[in-house]
Structure 1
Amino acid sequence: MKNLLLQIFTWWNGQTIGTRFFTWRSGKKIGEDEFGNVYYEGPETSFGVPRRWVIFNGPAEASAIPPGWHGWMHHRTNVAPSQENYQPREWEKAHKPNLTGTSGAYRPKGSLAGAGERPRVTGDYDAWTPGS
């Protein structure tokens, strides 16, 4: 029941009522990825390409779409990873979600959000002062 209320009153949790209705009415399930996201295809858009969408398993986060499905979603390929034996190339890195805003976010050395103190300024820098 809680999940249904979240879907009714928020757009970032799973699917909205409009998406649920559109999926029920004209969506064809194409496949599912390892994260539980479900991919659909529907009627053609005004550009003549089929409409494609994803219903996320959890919060709607575009970075949660793996590379193989990303290519299919953006019409770079017409063959979905579920319809072929998709294997990532050796140079493709494993998918990592966007951690911005979380405790796992990248904080480089010297960042105000990072731990520790900034290093002292070395002699190759002169601060500007008015009138100099």
Structure 2
Amino acid sequence: MGILNTLLSAVTWWNGATLNTMIFTRRHGKKVGEDEQGNTFYRNADDSKRWVIFNGEAEASRIGADWHGWLHRTFDEVPSEKPLKRKDWEQPHQENLTGTMLAYAPAGSIRAGGEPKDRRDYEAWVPE
């Protein structure tokens, strides 16, 4: 199964980097750092291009705010050298959980499980 996974990751963009991206990265890329999820960030020699090679599935919400800002040139300091100052109330970055079992389900939702709650704050409209 290892050869199949290697082949799939070489020809599909959602399994890491494609073959062309790996070749381009090897020839022109300069590694600038990694985030806590293992994603690797690169830039070319004149810093005209910046890119990421995901560790696993390519999901944009897996990139934290600091690296997202660096990729989109909001700031030039590499987050591994100068991380963002976080406030004490900020929670750590979490990827988008929409479509998973861990997604938020409000009270009364079918997905919340259990019995639906009796809503006394709602009265159904009845035509006259």
Q: TM-score, normalised by structure 2?
A: 0.81
C-alpha distance in 2 between matches for 1:93 and 1:72:
20
C-alpha distance in 2 between matches for 1:27 and 1:11:
18
Q: Aligned ranges for residues 2-17 of structure 1 at < 5 Å?
A: 2-17=4-19
- In terms of fraction of residues, the more helix-rich structure is 2
Number of aligned residues: 125
Q: Does 1:40 align with 2:38?
A: no
| Equivalent position of 1:18 in the other structure | 20
Structure 1: 5+ residue stretches without partners: none
C-alpha distance in 1 between matches for 2:27 and 2:36:
26
Structure 2: 5+ residue stretches without partners: none
Question: Please, what is the CA RMSD of the aligned residues?
Answer: 2.3
User: Aligned AA for 1:8?
Assistant: A
- Compute the displacement of 1:117 (Å): 2.8
| Equivalent position of 2:86 in the other structure | 89
| Equivalent position of 1:65 in the other structure | 63
Give the 3 Å change call, closer, same or farther, for CA 75–109 of structure 1 in structure 2.
same
Q: 1:111 aligns with which of 109, 112, 127?
A: 109
Give the 3 Å change call, closer, same or farther, for CA 123–75 of structure 1 in structure 2.
closer
C-alpha distance in 2 between matches for 1:23 and 1:51:
11
- Compute the displacement of 1:123 (Å): 6.4
Deviating more after overlay: 61-70 vs 112-121 = 112-121
Give the 3 Å change call, closer, same or farther, for CA 93–124 of structure 1 in structure 2.
closer
- 2:8 aligns to what SS in structure 1? helix
- 2:92 aligns to what SS in structure 1? coil
**Runs of 4+ that moved beyond 2 A:** 117-129
Give the 3 Å change call, closer, same or farther, for CA 123–35 of structure 1 in structure 2.
closer
- Compute the displacement of 1:128 (Å): 5.0
Q: TM-score, normalised by structure 1?
A: 0.79
Q: Does 1:80 align with 2:78?
A: yes
- Contact 1:30–1:39 (Cα < 8 Å) also in 2: yes
